[in-house]
Chains A and B, each alone.
Chain A
Amino acid sequence: MPAVSKGDGMRGLAVFISDIRNCKSKEAEIKRINKELANIRSKFKGDKALDGYSKKKYVCKLLFIFLLGHDIDFGHMEAVNLLSSNKYTEKQIGYLFISVLVNSNSDLIRLINNGIKNDLASRNPTFMNLALHCIANVGSREMAEAFASDIPRILVAGDTMDSVKQSAALCLLRLNRTSPDLVPMGEWTARVVHLLNDQHLGVVTAATSLITTLAQKSPDDFKTSISLAVARLSRIVTSASIDLQDYTYYFVAAPWLSVKLLRLLQCYPPPEDAALRSRLTECLETILNKAQEPPKSKKVQHSNAKNAVLFEAISLIIHHDSEPTLLVRACNQLGQFLQHRETNLRYLALESMCTLASSEFSHEAVKTHIDTVINALKTERDVSVRQRAVDLLYAMCDRSNAKQIVAEMLSYLETADYSIREEIVLKVAILAEKYAVDYTWYVDTILNLIRIAGDHVSEEVWYRVIQIVINRDDVQGYAAKTVFEALQAPACHENLVKVGGYILGEFGNLIAGDSRSSPLVQFNLLHSKFHLCSVPTRALLLSAYIKFINLFPEVKATIQDVLRSDSQLRNADVELQQRAVEYLRLSCIASTDILATVLEEMPPFPERESSILAKLKRKKGPGNRPDIDDPRRNVNGNTEHSDNKIEATNKGSPPSFTDLLNLNSTPPAGANLLVDVFSDNSALAATDVSEENFSRFVCKNNGVIFENQLLQIGLKSEYRQSLGRIYVFYGNKTSTQFLSFSSTVTSPDTLENQLTAHAKTVDPVIEGGAQVQQIINIECVSDFTDAPVLDIQFRYGGTLQNIAVKLPVMLNKFFQPTEMASQDFFQRWKQLGAPQQEVQKIFKANHPMDTDVTKAKILGFGIALLDQVDPNPENFVAAGVIHTKNTQVGCLLRLEPNAQAQMYRLTLRTSRESVSQRLCDLLSDQF
C-alpha cells in the first residue's frame, strides 16, 4: 500500500508542509506561517463561498500549524461546517480539527453537538464512529450532558454494528471518567456486562475496559462480571494460539484482552464460589506454567506480550493475597526475572516484588533474593532500575536483615544520583529507627548518614535522632561520646554541628568526667565551628552554651566572655543579638536553682508517628506504592482506599504530622529554642464556609475572595442580563504542588431551582507558585437570596485540605441599569405603591459619608443613578431592571443620607416583595 495512492491528496497542504520544512530558521517559518494564516483568513472571509474541498484543505493547514505549536484562533466555524458535509473526508477532517483544537468551553459546542447528533442518528456506521470518536476525544461536560444517555442505548442495541459498539463502549468510558455524575446507571448496565460473552473479541476488548472503570466506581452493580471474566479468561489461556486468529499477537492469545480481564478481576476480592475460584486459580497456574515453557518466538514482542499477561496475573495474585502457593510461585518467577538480560524485565520484577514483600505469605520468599537485589544496586547502569532496587530493599527489610540492608544502602549513598539521595537518606533513617535493637547502632547510622550525605539530610532526620536520644536514656552517653568524636573531624557538616550542639548541650555532662572531653574541651570544640555556621545553627549553639553554663559552672566565665564579645552582643542579626543579650543576663542574675529549673534537661517526647515517615509519605505522593509502613495491603481494596483512610485520620487530628516538621527556619526568640523545635503549627482544616469577603463583592466584581497560608482565590466576574460568568483564579502560594485539586459549586436546596451554576473542571495539579483558572457559568432563573458555595479540595503534602467559600453571586448582579426622566420615575414610583412592594430600612453609617463613594457604590450595585430627580440634591435616586430567566423585575431605589445623625434611610420599590427585601439587605450593608 504505497502512500501516494492513499487518501485525499491535498496538494496545497503538501506544498505548504514542504515550504515549512524548507525554512532555514525559526523566523522564516513564522513568516511563512503568518503568510499562510493571512491567506486562509482572507479565503474564509472572502465573498466567494468556498467549496468543501478548499474548506477542508484550509482547515487541515490550520491544524498542521497548530500541531507545530502555534496558536490558532479562527477556523473553528469552518471546521464545524465540515461536520455537516456529506463527503466523508470533509467530515473526517472537521472532526479531527474539533478533536484536537476545540476545548470544552468553546461557544461552538452547541453547533458541534448538533453535527454529532445528526451523525449518531444517521445509522451509517462509519459516520457514527466518527461522531463517537469525537465525543471520546473531546470528552467535555457539555457533550456528556448531550449524549450520556444516548450512548448506552447505542451500545446495547441489538442491531448496532460491532465496530460502533466498540467505539460506544470506550466513548462511555471517557465520559464516565470526565463527568461520572452525568452517566446514568440503568438497566443497560446488566446488558453491558454480558458483552463479555460477545462473539467479537474486539467488542469484548473494548467492553472490558468500560466495565472495569464502572466496577471501580460501583463494584456491587457489576459483580456478575466476575464469573464471565473468569470464563472468558479461561477460554483464552487454554486456547491454541491459532484459535483466536488475528487476536493472537506473536503467538500469544489475545494479550490485551487477557490483561484487561485480569485487571477487571482486581476490582474484586477472590471469588467466593469455590468452583469459580478454582477455575481462576487454574487460569493463573496456567499462566505461570507458560512462563516456564520455551519461547515460541525469539521476537521481543512475543516475550513482552507473554510477560505482560504474566505480570498482570501476578498483580492479581498479590491483590488477592490469599493463595500461599501462588504467591510463592509468583515470587520465584520474579526471582528469575531479576537476573534476566532484559533491563525492562529486571525493572518490572523489582517493582512487582516490592508489593510481594508486604504479603505475609511471600515476605520470606522475597528475602531470599537479597543478594541479587544488592547486586542490582551496585551494578545496574540505569538509575531508574537502581531506584527500584532501593525500594525493594526497603520493602524486604526486617529485623533479621536490617543491618545488612542499611549498610548496603549507606554505601550506595556515597555514589548515588543526587536526584534520589534524599529519599535514600529518609529510608535509611526510617529503617535504622524501626529495626534498631541496640540504639548505639542507630546513632552511628544517623551520624554516618550526615557524614556521607549531609546536604541531603533533611531537618526531619536530625530532629528525629534528637527526639530518640532524649527519649532513651540508655543511649545518651554513647550519643554524646559519638558526636563529640565526630565533631573532631576538621570539616564536618553543619547538620552534625546542630546535632552535636544539641546533644552536648543536653548530655555533655555524661562524658565530662574524661579529661579528653572536659567541659572546656567540649565548649572549645563547639565554638570552633561557630563562625562557619549559618544563623540558625549559631542560634542553636548559643542555646547550647547557656545549657553548658548550667551543666558546668566551671566554664561559666569563659562562656560569658564569649557572649559578651561585640560579635555576639552587637551582632547584626537580631535573633543572635537578642539571644546573646538575654542569655548573658540570665547567667548573671539567675541563681543556680533558677538556672537549673529554666535550663533543665528536655522532657521525653510523646511517642508519635515518626516525622520522617510522614515526610517520605509526602515525597512518594498519593496513590503510590503501599510499601511505606503498610505492612500488608488490605485485601480487597486498591491502594486508593487505604490512602483515603490516611486522609481521614489526618483531617481529624492534624497534629499527628506536626511534631518536628513545621519548624521555621529561623527559630523564634527566647531561651526556649530547644522547645520551639517542637512547637506545633496551625492546622489548616477549614471546612466552615468562608464568607468574610462576601459582602465586599456586592458592589464590585473583581478581587480576592479567600486567602490563607496555602491558597489565594481571586475572582473576576461579568454579568449580562440573566447570565454571568465568573473566572476563579486559584493561586498556589507554596512551593509545593497541590495534588488532586478539585473545585465544585454546590447550591443550598432552595437555591438549586433559582440559580444554576456550572463550574468547568480544573486541572488536578497546581504547581507551586502557579495559578490556574476556572470558569463558572451562572444563570439566574428566578430571584434568590442564598448564595452558591465553592467547595475546594486538594492534597497538600500528606494532608487533604478542604475549603468552602461562599461565592459572591447576588441578585443585584443581574441588574441592567435604566435611565429615565424625573417624571417617569415618579409615575412608576407611585405605581409601585402597594405596601408589600416597598421595603425600607433606616440604619447607621458604618463608613464616612462621602457623596462620591456613595455614588460609586450605587453604580457598582449595578443600577443607574438618576440625576436631578429627587428635589433634595443630597438624596440618591436610582433605577434598574433585574433580569432572571423567567422574568424581569423593575426596581426603583432612593437613598437619603442624614449627615448630622450619621444615618441613612434606604427605600426600595419593586414589583416583588422578595426582590425588594433582598436588594435592601444587600445594599444597606455597604454604607
Chain B
Amino acid sequence: MQFMLLFSRQGKLRLQKWYVPLSDKEKKKITRELVQTVLARKPKMCSFLEWRDLKVVYKRYASLYFCCAIEEQDNELITLEIIHRYVELLDKYFGSVCELDIIFNFEKAYFILDEFLLGGEAQETSKKNVLKAIEQADLLQENIDFQMRLFAGVMVPNMASESSGLFQN
C-alpha cells in the first residue's frame, strides 16, 4: 500500500498515512485530486478505480471515507477488508467510534494504525492482539498520569454527521 487517507464527506482530511516518500507539495496535490475524485463517485459504484498508475480502493463509513492507494499487483478485496478491520479496531477502542473521536483523538487513530499496518503491509491482523498492544500502552501511561476527561467542559458543536457512529449507516 502506498498511502491511506481518511476524509469527510465535506472533503476534510482526517488522517493521512504515507508509506512512500513524497514531498509535502506532492502529498497535498494527491490528496486534493483524490478527495475530489472519490467524492464525485456515486454510491453504488464499484469500490475500486484506476488512478494514475495506482489502484484506489475506498469505502465510506457514515460520514467518513477511507481510501487506500495500492499497487498494480496488490489485492483489492483484501485491501477493502484492511479498511474494515481498521474501522473495527477504532470502533472497539473508542466504543462505537464516530468521526469526532478521530478528530479529537487523532493521535490514537495513528497509534492504532501503526499497530495494525506498518510500512504499508498488514503487521498484525488479530483484533485482540492489536487492542492488547494499545491497551498496554494506555496502561503504561495511566500509571504515570492522572486521567483527565477529554471532553470535560468543551462540548463540541452539534454536527450530527460527525457524531454518528461509523457502523450505523
Residues of A within 8 A of B (CB): 1-11, 14-15, 17-18, 21-22, 53, 60, 63-64, 67, 69, 71, 87-89, 92-93, 96, 99-100, 103-104, 126, 129, 133, 136-137, 139-140, 163, 166-167, 170-171, 173-174, 177-178, 201-202, 205-206, 209, 245-247, 249, 254-257, 259-260, 263, 266, 301, 304-305, 307-309, 311-312, 315, 343-344, 346-348, 381-382, 384-385, 387, 621-624, 638-639, 739, 761, 763, 765, 772
Contacts and interface: CB of A to CB of B under 8 A. Distances in A.
A89 B145 contact: yes
Contacts of B127: 246
A308 B82 CA distance: 11
Interface in B17-37: 19, 21-24, 26, 28
Interface residues of B, number: 74
Interface in B33-59: 42, 44-50, 52-53
B78 A305 contact: yes
Contacts of A315: 73
Chain B CB within 10 Å — which of A7, A60, A88, A308 has the most? A7
A202 B129 contact: yes
A109 to B, nearest CB: 14
A491 B128 CA distance: 69
A22 B157 contact: yes
Contacts of A173: 119, 121
A89 B141 contact: yes
A6 B108 contact: yes
Contact of B140 (A1, A126, A763): A126
Contacts of B19: 174
A9 B119 contact: no
Chain A CB within 10 Å — which of B22, B49, B73, B133 has the most? B73
Contacts of A170: 118-119, 121, 123
B160 interface: no
Contact of A246 (B48, B105, B129, B154): B129
B44 A7 contact: no
A88 B105 contact: no
Contacts of B101: 3
A17 B14 CA distance: 13
Contact of B28 (A2, A69, A263, A639): A69
A40 to B, nearest CB: 17
Contacts of A387: 50
A382 B45 contact: yes
Interface string B66-79: 00000011011110
B95 A384 contact: no
Contact of B126 (A6, A9, A246, A259): A246
Contacts, number: 238
B141 A206 contact: no
Contacts of B125: 202, 205, 247, 249, 254, 256-257
Contact of B16 (A67, A136, A384): A67
Contact of B105 (A6, A140, A247): A6
Given A89-B145, A166-B124, 8 more contacts: A10-B148, A63-B106, A103-B21, A202-B129, A312-B75, A315-B73, A347-B48, A382-B42
A305 B77 contact: yes
B94 A93 contact: no
Interface of B is mostly: mixed
A385 B119 contact: no
Contacts of A312: 75, 78
A347 to B, nearest CB: 5
A739 B93 CA distance: 42
A308 B48 contact: no
Interface of A is mostly: helix
Contacts of A4: 149-151
Contacts of B81: 249, 255-256, 301, 304-305, 308
B92 A14 contact: no
Contacts of A309: 78
A624 B101 CA distance: 40
A2 B165 CA distance: 13
A308 B126 contact: no
A243 to B, nearest CB: 14
Contact of B77 (A87, A178, A311): A311
A5 B85 CA distance: 23
Contact of B119 (A6, A139, A246): A139
B126 A7 contact: no
A3 B106 contact: no
A493 B145 CA distance: 76
A260 B74 CA distance: 10
B21 A104 contact: yes
A721 B28 CA distance: 37
A354 B105 CA distance: 44
A18 B85 contact: no
A7 B156 contact: no
A570 B78 CA distance: 68
Chain B CB within 10 Å — which of A8, A171, A177, A385 has the most? A8
A385 B75 CA distance: 17
Given A201-B126, A246-B128, A3 B157 contact: no
Contact of A11 (B44, B92, B114, B152): B152
Contacts of A60: 107
